[in-house]
């Protein structure tokens, strides 16, 4: 009785959320006709950083480990696209696929070591590897351009207007989110939640915990690489800062703001963070002060982030992860 | 019933910082047995479970499961053979529902956990609901496991073990902290697993009436070593056992 009653209740709740998502997609589709070029640029940034943050949350929210070196994969993706397009004139679409593959390969190597640790040790080791790659990119002038970065990464002619690039990014990001959404609801996704909640128990059920963590780390790295790959032609240049630890902090902030317990939480966080950034830096240089206050307020008054607040409005009893995640 | 040894342990030793937690333990079980290991606190029961389930690695000696030497195997490989373990302190996924907890065990047993694209909610529905029904926690299917009562958490332990379709099941104090009514129900359930599904069961227990009421065979551990092993009546009358253990209680 209880069971079927609860199921009906959750279905209607999930449907309401699906309705909201459709509304948001429609708004996203007509957005460039409403807003000016500056804000279209901001919207592209929201999408790219949101994808980066959602990929980060595959490790943070679903696997329960804080990666503080996720920008390494974002940066590797950006440099893969930058180098292939600027030096070898490889088409953008192929370069994007290569960005995912190379970021995934780096994640495989770095992850092999990091998944042996958990908690603060995992965070520190991911940070160390991230900085290691940052310094290699920073110093290797002949290959990466060193601290000068790479310039002249032009999007293909078809995507040269900011509106066209916005729609292209929108399609890629939505496709990537759908893939990650499916993964999060799959048995693999639930195995990650199981590892997050109780790795030892999962081991005794018959799961090779380290192997699963590594696979998840590689998937998350590959999607961060895709986000990085979208950044280069958008910004038309890339610099080693894309791999620095400060860049790794951004998806952490976005996830804290939006909420790690829901799939789209980090994307919500990206909307708030990136929009605020563009808005606030228009009239003051004290951006870190503003974002610091925002994060403090969220941690104090809504530890589940904005998405957690919305979920609280919708329902009052406890429920499953599955239903709060859209 | 096939009466070959399902589990065989030979001269197992393990020490922690100079304290011998397991001393030269040799033990074997036939398929279909329903046996108990008892002993005072600190006798080494849990360490013994840790050693035969792969959580700890033995200093010396060997562990065999159906003629496979599993002494140095990690827990997940041993689990895949059909050896399942229930924990003394309930050990579940607090942020997943009761239903999702059991489904995780079922999906792992069916080797579906590397599936990346089928929604988990469409898989193993019937098996999971059957198990919840069988152990009697269907009403709590949508409750977060972290919010269950202590008794229900212990029942969830057994439900998760069932999801793994074990051939050999280790239960570490399955009724600890339960009311006498819950204890009775739980032990009857375990008995059904043994008699109707042929699961070989090895459990530890502090509650002596439970041990004598259910176990077909009793092994007494004291300071990491076996001091008695046999049918419960025999062990009950053993002078050494009365001195170190049962004497304290009666």
Across residues B148-158, what is the average pLDDT? Answer: 88
Q: Which of residues 118-157 of B touch A (CB under 8 A)?
A: 118-121, 123, 138-139, 141-144, 147
- Contact check, Cβ <8 Å, A189/B93: no
Does an H or E element contain B83, and which?
Answer: strand B83-86
Kindly report, residue by residue over B68-110, the tens digit of the pLDDT.
Answer: 999 999 999 999 999 999 887 778 999 999 999 999 999 999 9
pLDDT of residue A325: 44
Q: What is the tens place of the pLDDT at every residue in A47-93?
A: 999 999 999 999 999 999 999 999 999 999 999 999 999 889 899 99
In percent, the amount of chain B with pLDDT more than 70 equals 96
Domain boundaries, chain A: 11-324
Q: What residues of B are in contact with residue A2 (Cβ under 8 Å)?
A: 139, 141-142
Q: Tell whether B63 is covered by a domain.
A: yes
Residue B97, SS3 per DSSP: strand
CA distance B154 to A238: 55
pLDDT tens, position by position, A243-271: 999 899 999 999 999 999 889 999 999 99
Percentage of residues of chain A with pLDDT beyond 70: 92
Q: Is residue B155 part of a domain?
A: no
A36 vs A33, A162, B183, CA distance in Å?
A: 8, 10, 70
**Cβ–Cβ under 8 Å, residues A254 and A49:** yes
Model confidence pLDDT, tens digit, residues B189-223: 999 999 988 999 999 988 888 888 899 999 998 88
Distances (CA, A) of A220 to A62, A141, A216: 11, 28, 6
Specify if B6 maps to a domain.
yes
In a domain, residue B156? The reply is no
ipTM of the complex: 0.87
Q: CATH number, domain at B234?
A: 3.40.50.300
**Residue B9 belongs to some domain of the structure:** yes
- Contacting residues of B for A319, CB less than 8 Å apart: 97, 142, 144
Looking at residue A240, what is its pLDDT? Answer: 92
**Is B96 part of the contact surface with chain A (CB cutoff 8 Å)?**
yes
In contact, A163 and A234? CB cutoff 8 Å = no
Quick one: CA dihedral A232, A235, A239, A244, positive or negative?
Answer: negative
| HSE value, Cβ hemisphere, 13 Å, CA-based, for B124 | 26
A294 vs B: CB within 8 A: no
**Which band of pLDDT confidence, cut at 50, 70 and 90, is reported for residue B232?**
confident
Which residue range forms the structural domain that includes residue B45? Answer: 1-79+201-250
Containing A91, the helix (H) or strand (E) segment is none
The pLDDT of A133-141, averaged and rounded, is: 91
- Does the pLDDT value for residue A189 go beyond 90? yes
CA-to-CA distance for B142 and A2, rounded, in angstroms?
A: 9
Number of domains in chain B: 1
Residue B97 belongs to a domain: no
Q: Which helix (DSSP H) or strand (DSSP E) does residue B227 occupy?
A: strand B225-230
Q: Is residue B109 one of the residues assigned to a domain?
A: no
Identify the architecture of domain A11-324 in CATH.
Answer: Orthogonal Bundle (1.10)
Distance CA B165, CA B174 (A): 17
B positions 199-238 inside 8 Å of A (CB): none
Average pLDDT, chain B: 88
Let me know if residue B111 belongs to a domain: no
């Amino acid at each position: 009785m209880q069971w079927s009653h609860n199921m009906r209740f959750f279905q209607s709740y999930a449907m309401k959320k699906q309705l909201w998502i459709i509304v948001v997609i429609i708004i996203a589709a007509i957005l460039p006709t409403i807003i000016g070029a500056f804000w279209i640029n901001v919207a592209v940034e929201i999408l790219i950083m949101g994808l980066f943050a959602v990929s980060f949350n595959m490790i943070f929210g679903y696997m329960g480990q804080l990666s503080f070196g996720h920008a390494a994969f974002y940066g590797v993706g950006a440099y893969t696209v930058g180098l292939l397009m600027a030096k070898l004139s490889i088409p953008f679409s192929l370069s994007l696929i290569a960005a995912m593959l190379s970021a995934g390969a780096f994640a495989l190597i770095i992850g092999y070591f990091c998944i042996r640790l958990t908690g603060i040790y995992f965070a520190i080791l991911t940070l160390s590897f991230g900085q290691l790659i940052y310094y290699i990119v920073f110093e290797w002038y002949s290959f990466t351009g060193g601290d000068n970065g790479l310039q002249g990464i032009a999007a293909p002619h078809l995507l040269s207007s900011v509106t066209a690039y916005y729609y292209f990014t929108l399609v890629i990001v939505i496709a990537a989110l759908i893939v990650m959404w499916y993964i999060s609801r799959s048995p693999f996704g639930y195995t990650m939640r199981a590892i997050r909640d109780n790795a030892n128990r999962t081991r005794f059920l018959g799961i090779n915990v380290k192997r699963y963590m590594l696979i998840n780390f590689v998937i998350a790295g590959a999607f961060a690489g895709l986000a990085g790959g979208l950044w280069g032609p958008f910004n038309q240049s890339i610099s080693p800062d894309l791999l620095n630890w400060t860049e790794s902090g951004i998806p952490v902030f976005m996830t804290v703001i939006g909420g790690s317990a829901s799939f789209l939480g980090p994307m919500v966080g990206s909307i708030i963070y990136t929009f605020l950034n563009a808005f606030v830096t228009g009239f003051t240089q004290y951006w870190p002060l503003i974002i610091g206050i925002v994060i403090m307020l969220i941690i104090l008054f809504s530890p589940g982030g904005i998405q957690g607040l919305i979920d609280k409005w919708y329902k009052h009893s406890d429920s499953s992860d599955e239903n709060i995640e859209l | 019933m096939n009466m070959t040894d399902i589990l065989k342990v030979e001269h197992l030793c393990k020490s922690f910082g100079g304290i011998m937690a397991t001393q030269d333990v040799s033990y074997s079980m036939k398929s279909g047995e329903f046996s108990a290991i008892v002993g005072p606190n600190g006798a080494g029961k849990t360490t013994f479970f840790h050693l035969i389930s792969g959580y700890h690695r033995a200093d010396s000696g060997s562990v065999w499961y159906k003629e496979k030497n599993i002494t140095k195997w990690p827990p997940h490989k041993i689990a895949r053979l059909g050896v399942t373990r229930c924990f003394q302190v309930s050990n579940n996924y607090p942020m997943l529902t009761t239903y999702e907890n059991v489904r995780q065990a079922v999906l792992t047993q069916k080797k579906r956990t590397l599936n990346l694209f089928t929604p988990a909610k469409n898989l193993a529905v019937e098996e999971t609901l059957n198990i919840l029904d069988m152990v009697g926690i269907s009403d709590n299917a949508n409750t977060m496991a972290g919010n269950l009562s202590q008794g229900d958490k212990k029942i969830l332990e057994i439900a998760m073990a069932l999801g793994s379709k074990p051939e050999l099941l280790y239960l570490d104090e399955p009724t600890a902290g339960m009311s006498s009514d819950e204890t009775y129900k739980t032990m009857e359930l375990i008995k059904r697993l043994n008699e109707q599904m042929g699961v070989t069961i090895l459990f530890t227990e502090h509650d002596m009436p439970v041990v004598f009421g259910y176990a077909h065979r009793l092994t007494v551990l004291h300071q990491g070593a076996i001091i008695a092993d046999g049918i419960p009546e025999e062990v009950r009358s053993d002078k050494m056992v009365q001195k170190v253990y049962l004497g304290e209680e009666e």
